[in-house]
Chains A and B, each alone.
Chain A
Amino acid sequence: MIHSLFLVNSSGDIFLEKHWKSVVSRSVCDYFFEAQERATEPENVPPVIPTPHHYLISVLRHRIYFVAVIQSEVPPLFVIEFLHRVVDTFQDYFGVCTEAAIKDNVVVVYELLEEMLDNGFPLATESNILKELIKPPTILRTMVNTITGSTNVGEQLPTGQLSVVPWRRTGVKYTNNEAYFDVVEEIDVIIDKSGSTITAEIQGVIDACVKLTGMPDLTLSFMNPRLLDDVSFHPCVRFKRWEAERILSFIPPDGNFRLLSYHVSSQNGYPVGYRSLVAIPVYVKHNITFREGSSQGRFDLTLGPKQTMGKGVEAVLVSSQLPRGVLNANLSASQGTYTFDPVTKMLTWDVGKINPQKLPSLKGSMSLQAGASKPDENPSINIQFKIQQMAISGLKVNRLDMYGEKYKPFKGIKYMTKAGKFQVRT
């Protein structure tokens, strides 16, 4: 399946290569570079590139291209998904997945890749198993290793590989038994010029951090499971239970994992034009105009909270790609700071927290290229924000129970709402 893997950095150097079958010359990447040159933006490189003898499937993460070389038919998603899993593993191991981190840990990377694929077919991709095979590098361990000469390769076959619960290792021990669940919801909205919502969707995930001794069997129930329109589970969740009772029952993996991702739909299934059920927590008043003939444009933007159930809107960040003709923007912000990059024409405004009494606004003028005609498009505004302690869909966890172990764990649940792809067309 996967023949070789090349890691290419943003300047176009191959800084790591790994072959699982016979060696493929790195000249195969020339086809990739060609495609890269043709694409204007880095994310516009087609994920699948056919070459005379091979196919190149690539993903771009953290400004590194992971280019897999394929020789014969294989579902492309299979490879893409695997490559993403590789990146996730690196991130898990090294904290960040940068060129420097990979170069520093090249041996661990090599060992990982060796374990993850055998002859191009995925072998062990569960991070719990990998961590038993190859211990992640920590400062302490590196010191100990250099002194004692011991290794960071596990001596034993991870039990998970063989057991029926492949995602959990046996013999886990903690002094403090804790289980934390983060309900994080992202709201995707497109709002049109007149302020009406075109689409609104909520995507949520439940990320868990479970540090429990032994083999606990957890059940998690919701107050309002009906909200969840479409769900996908970590493999540990017993699907039948969910189908029958809408209860999440699972033996958790050790450590951090994504238990569930879900989708709350507002409009799908309703006739077109139906009012959205999603409460949009922020409103935007905007007035961006360019006048024909003059080299000035007006820019006026005000943000305000709405339907936030009393919770504050934090970490607000507004960004907008202004038209190419804009030379500079001379604005004043009532709150926060703004920057305008004259090269990329990107305007970003770091608002911070919205104070409902005094709404933040950004006003001023834009100077246009002299003589250029008025740009015919208005920029769209992207907004990011966070709301703590609230799940915008109203999803609530009812209770978490543990079976199979005697001790009493500490349980915690946190809610958060974030803007996903929150876009206002002007």
Chain B
Amino acid sequence: MLDSNKDSLKLEAMKRIVAMIARGKNTSDLFPAVVKNVACKNIEVKKLVYVYLVRYAEEQQDLALLSISTFQRGLKDPNQLIRASALRVLSSIRVTIIVPIMMLAIKEAASDMSPYVRKTAAHAIPKLYSLDPEQKDQLIEVIEKLLADKTTLVAGSVVMAFEEVCPERIDLIHKNYRKLCNLLVDVEEWGQVVIINMLTRYARTQFLNPNLNECLLEEGGESTFYGSDADQDEDEDEDKKDEALSKRKPYVMDPDHRLLLRNTKPLLQSRNAAVVMAVAQLYFHLAPKAEVGVIAKALVRLLRSHSEVQYVVLQNVATMTIKRRGMFEPYLKSFYIRSTDPTQIKVLKLEVLTNLASETNISTILREFQTYIKSMDKDFVAATIQAIGRCATHIGEVRDTCLNGLVQLLSNRDELVVAESVVVIKKLLQMQPEKHSDIIKHMAKLTDNIQVPMARASILWLIGEYCEHVPKIAPDVLRKMAKTFTNEEDIVKLQIINLAAKLYLTNSKQTKLLTQYVLNLAKYDQNYDIRDRARFIRQLIVPTDKCGALSKYAKKLILALKPAPILESPFKDRDHFQLGSLSHLLNTKAGGYQELPDWPQDAPDPSVRNVEVKESVRAVGTVPEWTKCSSREKRKEKKVEKPFYSDSEGESGPTESADSESDSASSSASGSEQSGSGSEESEESEERSDSDEEEEEEEEEYMSLDVLMGPTPSPQVTPVGNFLSSSLVTDLEGLSLTDTVLSPATISPSGSLKSYELLHRITGEGLWVEYCFSRQPFLPDPHMVAVQIQFTNSAATEAKSLRLEEAKLQSGMRVKEFPEIEVLPAGESATVVMGVDFCDSTQAANLQLCTHSRKFFVSIQPPVGELMTPSFMTENEFKKEQGK
């Protein structure tokens, strides 16, 4: 059929083959026939051939090579879809010979015009790497290049490639850090997960621990996670915090650190559980203690999801609750167990409830536990009993209540329940044996009924350990056990030997013969452990001539006071794994797990994240910034929360992805700073410039969204406020800057502004006119936007009387012309400023530019984001606006 001329027949044949592959049948003998069709015109046949090819190329390397040329042709196709799919299949063919071809293809595709093809290139990188790890260096180069890519489409895939190929090359991230943070919201969800995980690691290496002060204390108070000591510990915390504060230099969060936290927070609302979890772990690992709480709500929401999701989330919540109990306390009831939950979920919820238990809520929790004990699910009941035991150990007040409850359970009909309670009671009793000899007696009686080996062993151990509390019963129990010794399980036998030994030492009169008997039985036991133990005990306790020295200490050895066991959560030490990771879930290191590094002692240089392009541009605003830096120390304490960009305002935006926007941010921020530099109180001006920056940022985020949405006029954003939320605009209108901003110096062209050509030098017969939006307030009229026009006369003769005449202006538009330039000598240039009221639209202003000899029709097109209203506001006002 494959040799047929008809596409439909071929298709039918391929479908059958693919169905066979799906069922796991081997169809490799058809390889030659299938490969022939790789150049088939029918797109569906082609796709199925690809599926086949990728599956079997590894096994039939030589024949697979036949198809390569088709893909190479495909790589040059004008259609981006075909280019991408060719690259995809080519890179999926795992044949070592074609590594150089793949390398070439990836390199080419990495600089392709279409972001879709570039994305495919990013996907191809790990494929090639797994095929031939020696290509690593070259691949890193490609990754570096793609990391600089500004489209959201590429970002996720390239970070994925980065994680697979060179996760240790953290230095590649520096320059792209801010961009990634800002793009994050718009990246597709799978990419978000990967990027967030990577940034968590990155932040751990680059920023200081925001909880530094508390961390110092945690070392001292490790065991105080649980209830009884927590309050006291907190008081201590307070005290020591002050101390630590005075000792250490106060902590100030790096603005980039803040940027990351701020940009990831909205993703907690994602519908994708993996994204939510990724953000949660980022907050858990990176955020200051006070802010971690926000993730609790989102995580609790995930508990509504499929049971597999619940399983993973609960595992992580369990780990978190150990460190930060307070975070989930308000959501206690969300962890209540329903009889319909699968057992594994029940057990995890129980774990969380136990971790959350404290003096205040223990009564509610215990009441819940009481209901659980009646459940039909016995595994779950057993887990509940253990949980009760743990609550009892950690919260002193309820210990007796719990113990009584557990003793009542001893009369339960279900053996498993009884056995579990015995084990837990044993552990509890160990903490204060003196008080509870009656319980021990009660348990001794149980030996007749309980058959579960672990429980029997526990009882025997208890009796042995506290035989002085029950001097009458103990020998009797030993007698009974000696009778049944041969039929017991191994662990019970061992405990019988122990019991015998202990009794022998304390009460040798009554038990000497019994002990001898037990030891003799043990001597001939099948299990060598038991034989060993018997031999060892006999040597130790029965004084003989040979080993006098040791037997003197026998009493000390065997009857030594044993410390009470600490019932611990199995999740206690899990937090050294990155939360949400596979390794954390399994509590073992999974292959390829990247250790979450510890916080650095001193922060690495934050300037590595600056992007150079902007560096040269920012000449304008540097002066006030230095003063800011110097006084930064003073203000650190009160402004911890506030991000300010020490020496890099410009990059905060979505960087080059929208050139004009980020430019606008840098220059207007610097503009406002300049305005401040004139005033005396530098403190205030800084505040203002800081807040201005923030404002810019807000605006940018807003705008980038709007720009992405295209020109659809969203209802409540009036066009002038394309970058300002409308409420802000109304408040800002009418305000103007008071300082002398429009001094000639500030108007001088700065390279940061993007110039647009108004008149080309050829059409203008030597006169070359460019304009740019200076982003300065246009003083004569606050509604107008300042447009800076630069005339360059490159003709041989001088140009005279350069002026503008209004031509067809759109209704409502107004223009304030610049004063006429009378003479512009050859080779010289002049700069003027004019004002245009674009009337809140992005329509071009069509004007007539006149010289002494000619007239040119020109138009000034305002790009989105260049229409601004100057504004002045105090810090308080700004904060108020921001809070809206």
A48: Cβ under 8 A from any B Cβ: yes
Given contacts A107-B18, A151-B43, are A48 and B712 in contact (CB under 8 A)? no
- Which of A67-75, A348-356, A389-397 lies on the face that meets chain B? A67-75
- Which of A113-121, A174-182, A300-308, A362-370 lies on the face that meets chain B? A113-121
Q: Are A81 and B309 interface neighbours, CB within 8 A?
A: yes
- Which of B326-334, B606-614, B819-827 lies on the face that meets chain A? B326-334
Q: Are B364 and A272 interface neighbours, CB within 8 A?
A: yes
Q: Are A152 and B44 interface neighbours, CB within 8 A?
A: yes
Q: Are B92 and A119 interface neighbours, CB within 8 A?
A: yes
Q: Which chain A residues in 149-182 approach chain B with CB under 8 Å?
A: 149, 151-153, 155-157, 161-162, 164-166
A37 CB contacts on chain B under 8 angstroms = none
Q: Are A272 and B705 interface neighbours, CB within 8 A?
A: no
Q: Are B55 and A75 interface neighbours, CB within 8 A?
A: no
Q: Are A76 and B585 interface neighbours, CB within 8 A?
A: yes
In the complex, what distance in Å separates the CA atom of A47 from the CA atom of B186? 30
A373: Cβ under 8 A from any B Cβ: yes
Q: Which chain B residues in 260-298 approach chain A with CB under 8 Å?
A: 266, 269-274, 276-278, 297-298
Q: Are B24 and A46 interface neighbours, CB within 8 A?
A: no
As a 0/1 sequence over residues 9 to 41 of chain A, the CB contacts with chain B under 8 angstroms (1 = contact) are 000001111110111001000000000000011
- Which of B340-348, B435-443, B831-839, B864-872 lies on the face that meets chain A? B340-348
Q: Are A217 and B712 interface neighbours, CB within 8 A?
A: yes
A203: Cβ under 8 A from any B Cβ: yes
A404: Cβ under 8 A from any B Cβ: yes
A15 CB contacts on chain B under 8 angstroms = 23
Q: Are B43 and A78 interface neighbours, CB within 8 A?
A: no
In the complex, what distance in Å separates the CA atom of A109 from the CA atom of B725? 46
Q: Are B80 and A73 interface neighbours, CB within 8 A?
A: no
Q: Are B312 and A77 interface neighbours, CB within 8 A?
A: yes
Q: Are B24 and A17 interface neighbours, CB within 8 A?
A: yes
Given contacts A44-B343, A239-B185, are A17 and B582 in contact (CB under 8 A)? no
Q: Which chain A residues in 205-259 approach chain B with CB under 8 Å?
A: 215, 217, 219, 229-235, 238-240, 243-245, 249, 251, 258
B709: Cβ under 8 A from any A Cβ: yes
Residue among B79, B301, B304, B344 making CB contact with A46, cutoff 8 Å: B344
Q: Are B309 and A77 interface neighbours, CB within 8 A?
A: yes
B650 CB contacts on chain A under 8 angstroms = none
Q: Which of A71, A156, A229, A380 has the most CB of B within 10 A?
A: A380
Residue among A71, A157, A323, A382 making CB contact with B376, cutoff 8 Å: A323
Instruction: Return A398 CB to nearest CB of chain B, in Å.
Output: 15
- Which of A89-97, A260-268, A327-335, A407-415 lies on the face that meets chain B? A260-268
Q: Are B304 and A203 interface neighbours, CB within 8 A?
A: yes
In the complex, what distance in Å separates the CA atom of A14 from the CA atom of B47? 24
A404 CB contacts on chain B under 8 angstroms = 712-713
Residue among A121, A231, A244 making CB contact with B160, cutoff 8 Å: A121
Q: Are A107 and B15 interface neighbours, CB within 8 A?
A: yes
A341 CB contacts on chain B under 8 angstroms = none
As a 0/1 sequence over residues 41 to 59 of chain A, the CB contacts with chain B under 8 angstroms (1 = contact) are 1011011101000010011
A131: Cβ under 8 A from any B Cβ: no
Q: Are B47 and A377 interface neighbours, CB within 8 A?
A: no
B190: Cβ under 8 A from any A Cβ: yes
In the complex, what distance in Å separates the CA atom of A44 from the CA atom of B22? 27
> Mostly helix, strand, loop or mixed at chain A's interface?
mixed
Q: Are A106 and B19 interface neighbours, CB within 8 A?
A: yes
In the complex, what distance in Å separates the CA atom of A267 from the CA atom of B336? 13
A403: Cβ under 8 A from any B Cβ: yes
A289: Cβ under 8 A from any B Cβ: no
As a 0/1 sequence over residues 733 to 746 of chain B, the CB contacts with chain A under 8 angstroms (1 = contact) are 00000000000000
Instruction: Return A7 CB to nearest CB of chain B, in Å.
Output: 9
Nearest-neighbor residue (CB-CB) of A167 within chain B: B188
B593 CB contacts on chain A under 8 angstroms = 72-73
A184: Cβ under 8 A from any B Cβ: no
A421: Cβ under 8 A from any B Cβ: yes
Q: Which of A59, A73, A240 has the most CB of B within 10 A?
A: A73
In the complex, what distance in Å separates the CA atom of A81 from the CA atom of B306? 9
Q: Are B330 and A249 interface neighbours, CB within 8 A?
A: no
In the complex, what distance in Å separates the CA atom of A155 from the CA atom of B874? 58
A125: Cβ under 8 A from any B Cβ: yes
Nearest-neighbor residue (CB-CB) of A405 within chain B: B712
Q: Which of A77, A110, A201, A373 has the most CB of B within 10 A?
A: A77
B753: Cβ under 8 A from any A Cβ: no
Q: Are A73 and B702 interface neighbours, CB within 8 A?
A: no
In the complex, what distance in Å separates the CA atom of A308 from the CA atom of B586? 47
Q: Are B81 and A156 interface neighbours, CB within 8 A?
A: yes
B277 CB contacts on chain A under 8 angstroms = 75, 77
Q: Are A107 and B271 interface neighbours, CB within 8 A?
A: no
Nearest-neighbor residue (CB-CB) of A262 within chain B: B301
Nearest-neighbor residue (CB-CB) of A123 within chain B: B123
B725 CB contacts on chain A under 8 angstroms = 244
Residue among A110, A165, A268 making CB contact with B333, cutoff 8 Å: A268
Q: Are B313 and A77 interface neighbours, CB within 8 A?
A: yes
Residue among A23, A26, A58, A122 making CB contact with B55, cutoff 8 Å: A23
B278 CB contacts on chain A under 8 angstroms = 75
As a 0/1 sequence over residues 122 to 165 of chain B, the CB contacts with chain A under 8 angstroms (1 = contact) are 01101100100000000000000000000001000100100000
A48 CB contacts on chain B under 8 angstroms = 312, 582, 585-586
Given contacts A44-B344, A72-B592, A151-B11, are A80 and B376 in contact (CB under 8 A)? no
Instruction: Return B203 CB to nearest CB of chain A, in Å.
Output: 17
Q: Are B190 and A19 interface neighbours, CB within 8 A?
A: no
Q: Are B412 and A268 interface neighbours, CB within 8 A?
A: no
In the complex, what distance in Å separates the CA atom of A241 from the CA atom of B534? 77
Instruction: Return A113 CB to nearest CB of chain B, in Å.
Output: 9
Q: Are B92 and A73 interface neighbours, CB within 8 A?
A: no
Given contacts A110-B51, A161-B116, are A166 and B590 in contact (CB under 8 A)? no
Given contacts A244-B884, A403-B715, are A78 and B274 in contact (CB under 8 A)? yes
7 nearest A-B pairs in the assembled complex, by CB-CB distance: A72-B592, A151-B44, A149-B8, A157-B81, A73-B593, A122-B190, A199-B333
Interface residues of A (CB under 8 A from B): 1, 14-19, 21-23, 26, 40-41, 43-44, 46-48, 50, 55, 58-61, 70-78, 80-82, 84, 106-107, 109-111, 114, 118-119, 121-123, 125, 149, 151-153, 155-157, 161-162, 164-166, 190, 192, 198-199, 201, 203, 215, 217, 219, 229-235, 238-240, 243-245, 249, 251, 258, 261, 263, 267-269, 272-273, 321, 323-324, 373, 376-378, 380, 382, 401, 403-404, 421, 423, 425
Pairs A–B under 8 Å by Cβ, sample size 17: A16-B23, A41-B342, A43-B342, A118-B120, A119-B91, A149-B7, A152-B44, A190-B336, A199-B334, A232-B301, A234-B271, A235-B189, A240-B702, A245-B716, A272-B360, A382-B339, A404-B713
- Name 18 extra pairs, CB < 8 A, besides A43-B342, A48-B585: A23-B58, A61-B306, A72-B592, A75-B581, A78-B190, A82-B274, A84-B308, A109-B22, A111-B51, A119-B126, A162-B116, A164-B708, A199-B336, A232-B270, A263-B304, A377-B375, A404-B712, A423-B338
